[in-house]
Amino acid sequence: MKSKINFEKITKFIKSKNFFIAVCVFVLTLSTIGVSYASFFTVKTNSNNQSVSTGTLQVSYGNDTTSAINKENMESLSDELGLSLSGEGDVKVVFIQNTGSLNSTFTLNVGYDMENFTNRQGYKSTDPLTPLDYIKIAVYEYNGINDETLIVGPITIADLPIYSSNSDYRYNRYSLLFDTVGSTTSGDATKTYKIKTWLSDKAIPAARYTYFYINTEVVAEVENAKMSYNLSGVLKDSNGVALNGATISLQNGSLKSTTNSSGTYSLNGIYPGVYNLDITYNGKTYNGNLTVEEGSSNSLTSLGSSFTGSTTSIFTQAKNYGTTLANIINKNNITTYSSAVTFNSGTTYYLKPTYKLVGGMDSNINNLNISLNTGTEMFTLTLG
């Protein structure tokens, strides 16, 4: 079913005529390095974005000299213009270096920068934030002058799985990518990213007057602090025919595998978490989500194809079912932006494929097979 656009909410959303739009002070969260555990805590840069070291990871922000960029009447950009690093929008550099003797894995998360936003002079609780559906983001791996490789995006924050949730959804964090940085002896002890954010051209005109104020964080821990899993299986269509040349990706392309003539794929080094699982075949992409947990034995559970509407927010539903705001909106043809979604009590709403995979003490999980239904643009996972 379709939900009507809440014009009253949008009217409130645009009532200020001259909002400033602030973009991105980077905030980082790093974990304590441990042998069998990892505990997380937050570290913030000062207004000059100087380097900060925690444990064996050092994170810095390139040559930024101010904590924010203020803009008036932000113009929306097409994906083509948004992806241009030399064009409009805001580009930040994140430099990550491992100074320790153990490899480290980390995730890069994004969300509203509410602490800095609410501390801004003149802030009012009624000041509207740009809906997550309209905030586009792209991540480039950067290896030198004019040497950028697009690795994530363009994607909206609403398309990202929730990494951590809060009773006030404005403080939620959304998982953008995960990666590994090697030890000092590995030859791969540094990672540098350029992260670009912009206002989508799908945004309603009033969105240019909202507060576009987000930040990123790095959450890291020593490798082997948690079990990581290697997934493998076969991709077939609904008739049982193996599909060659399909791309299976986790976490917005952080890990990818292309099937061979037998339909076989493999994805290695996957830590517990909630991931976007996307399958691209014959020019179409099939979206779903996979939650990975550590346990005593291997099991796979479908989290369901639907849920019953209630007063629970879309953010809570997305977290409970291990899916994304955009997947719920798109699957149910909802026509308003995510922060304004309300569910009708007793009404059935539908989910894209959502699964929970529990792994045991063996890091290799074989026969995680995928059946692709090209007619419904859905897929099914089975653990054989």
Is a pLDDT exceeding 90 seen at residue 62? no
Q: How confident is the model at residue 334 (pLDDT cuts 50, 70, 90)?
A: very high
The pLDDT of residue 378 is above 50 = yes
| pLDDT classification of 95: cutoffs 50, 70, 90 | confident
Stretch 95-116: mean pLDDT: 82
Most confident stretch, 44-48, 51-55, 75-79, 300-304:
300-304
- pLDDT at position 192, please? 87
Mean pLDDT of the 146-152 span: 83
Tens of pLDDT, residues 351-368: 999 999 999 989 999 999
The one-character DSSP state at 328 is H
pLDDT tens digits, 155-214: 999 999 999 999 999 999 999 988 888 888 888 888 888 888 888 988 888 887 787 777
Q: Tell me the H-state helices in 288-379.
A: 314-321, 325-331
Q: Among 41-55, 299-313, 357-371, which is the least confidently predicted range?
A: 41-55
d(CA 315, CA 325): 7
Q: Which tokens in the block code for residue 127?
A: 């000041």
Only one residue has tokens 């075949």, namely 281
Q: Model confidence at 44, in pLDDT bands (50, 70, 90)?
A: very low
Band of residue 219 on the pLDDT scale cut at 50, 70, 90: confident
- Using CA of residue 66, residue 169, residue 156, residue 218, what is the dihedral sign? positive
Domains of the chain: 7-222 (no CATH), 229-305+351-383 (2.60.40.1120)
Q: Is residue 21 scored above 80 in pLDDT? A: no
86 or 333, greater pLDDT: 333
Mean pLDDT across the chain: 78
User: Where does the pLDDT of residue 106 fall: very low under 50, low under 70, confident under 90, or very high at 90 and above?
Assistant: confident
Peptide bond connecting 353 to the previous residue in cis, omega within 30 degrees of 0: no
In 85-213, DSSP assigns E strands to 90-98, 104-112, 135-142, 148-156, 162-164, 173-181, 190-199
pLDDT at residue 190 in the model: 87
